[in-house]
Amino acid sequence: MTLSTLSITEENLNAGQKEAVRKTAGPVLVVAGPGTGKTLTIVNRIAHLIYQGVSPENILAVTFTNRAAREMRERIRALLGDISRRVFLGTFHLLGLRIIRENATDGFVIYNREEQVKLLKPLLQGTRLKAADIVDKISHVKGLALEPPDNLKAIFDEYRSTMHAKNALDFDDLILKPIEMFGTLNC
C-alpha cells in the first residue's frame, strides 16, 4: 500500500470524531466511554496525519492500558501496513520507559511489586507495618506526586534511597522519572 492509495473511511465517524481526525496542528485528546469509537478515531487520525505528510516517527499515541494499545496497534497495522511500526503507540508507562532509556546514562532495573515488598521488609523490621501495605501507600503518594505524610516520610525516603542505590525503578517511577528529567516536578 502506498500513501497515495491510502483511504480513510470517515463515514463511520460522527462530527466530533471527524474534527479530531482532520485536525493536523497540535495534539488532540480523545476521551470517551467504552465502545464510542475512540480507537477508530485515533487510528484514522494517525493515518490522516501520515497522508498529510507527517513522518510516522513524529506521531505519538498514548493510552492507559496494554489492551487498548494492542488493539490500536493491530488496527493501525491493518490500515497502514509496515509504516505503522514507525509510530510510537503504547501506554504512558511504556512512553516513560522509552524516555528514561533514551536519556539515562546508567543502566537500571525495574522492580515489580514482589521485589518492592522484599526490599521494604528489612526497612520495616521492628515495626508492625506490612510491606505490601506500605508499597500501596508509596504508590499512592508517587501516583499523585504528593509529599509523603509525616508517618510515611522516613520509610518513603529510605525506600527511595535504597532504590536509588540499587539503580532500581518501580512502576510509578516510569511516570515520575521522565517528569523529573524534564525538570517540571521535584519528587
Residue 87 belongs to a domain with what CATH number?
3.40.50.300
The number of folded domains in the chain is 2
User: Considering the domain boundaries, does residue 187 fall inside one?
Assistant: no
The predicted pLDDT at position 2 comes to: 46
User: Considering the domain boundaries, does residue 103 fall inside one?
Assistant: no
**pTM assigned to the model:** 0.79
**Looking at the predicted structure, is the pLDDT value of residue 1 above 60?**
no
According to DSSP, the residues that pair with 90 across neighbouring strands are 62
Q: 149: buried, middle or exposed (CB in 10 Å: 19+, 13-18, 0-12)?
A: exposed
Domain extent at residue 80: 3-98
- Do 118 and 88 share a domain, yes or no? no
Region 23-37: mean pLDDT is 84
Residue that finishes a domain, picked among 98, 131, 146: 98
